[in-house]
Amino acid sequence: MDPTQDVDAVARSIRDMSIRGAGMIARSASSAISAYAGSWQGTNEREFLDELQRIARMLYSTRPTAVSLRNGILMTLRGVESEKDVPSMRERIARQSKEFTESAEMAREGIAEIGSKRIPKGSAVLTHCNSMAALNTIKKAFEDGRVEMVFSTESRPWRQGHVTARWLLDNGIPVTMIVDSAVRHFMRDIDIVVVGADTISANGAVINKIGTSQIALAAHESRVPFIVCAETFKFSRETLLGSLVEIEDRGPVEVADPMKPSDFKGARILNPVFDATPPEYIDAIVTEIGIVSPYMATEVIREMFEMEGPVTLEKRRSRINWL
């Protein structure tokens, strides 16, 4: 069996959103790399590293905005080039992938435990899109008697809110689904907003499903607390180094087909997947290491990525530029 088939299948599933959610995307990519490495036939270290770099870049290209995908890939491949031979490289990848996926699962549990305490008793909670970090937090709060109703947006155009509403119902949590444009109308009924994140930048801005920033603005205007639930691997080291977060546009066909006369032929249709919520609209970011102010994002990034000491010029030259 061609070892790239599983990787290709995962990449297609991420691209067409069969695999969704930043954490799930990262775990799936990490597991695909590990499976590929384990089945690779060959003994040449250089060829193996070249193949790993190729599949890493292919997986990353599926969702370039999701820093969790980037970090999951990098954490899986970290230091592989320093191993002496292919078997050692394979063993390291398997170990690091297992560590990443297990820590990611534990992170969600930690976030739920910490974040649920921020939800007042008897709350009506608003959530947007389909974040398992946010949903597990809401579920834990519901079990603790803190949540009476969850308002879930449809989250157009893909309507991930439908998935959220079904998940809430399956877990016995009362849910009211609303269209995205009704958020301001219902904000008077909301006690707290709980959302997830795809990326958290060094300046504390949160990149999440399109419409999140408008919800945050409405919550800010109405004095409704707005909290973000996110694993630390969603913090972006690249933004600390000056890179901007790329906002993915998924093309017009999810909205309408501009080539059909009945669907606005000739119209320009834009479909950005994410937007940026500024830190001044965010009351807290809930991570597995605790509650973080958005203005402390830089410190989280430094702690995550600089534990091995300063990156010298020699170290930088010896590293593979995986992505």
Backbone angles phi, psi at 129, to 5 degrees: 65, -145
Contacts of 13 (CB under 8 A, 6+ apart): 19, 28
User: Given CA atoms 313, 314, 316, 317 in this order, what sign does their dihedral have?
Assistant: positive
How many Cβ atoms from other residues are within 10 Å of residue 314's Cβ?
8
Q: Tell me the sheet residues that pair with 267.
A: none
Is 129 one of the annotated active-site residues of the chain? yes
CA distance 126 to 227: 11
Pairwise CA distance, residues 321 & 323, whole Å: 6
**Cα–Cα distance between 89 and 81 in angstroms, integer?**
7
Of the residues 129, 180, 191, 229, only one is catalytic, namely: 129
Which tokens belong to 247? 């906002």
Nearest alpha-carbon partner for 216 in 296, 126, 86: 126
137-148 in b/e burial notation, b at 16+ Cβ within 10 A? Answer: bbbbbbeeebbe
Question: Is 229 tagged catalytic?
Answer: no
Q: Which of 2, 6, 189, 198 is catalytic?
A: 198
Active site positions, annotated: 129, 198
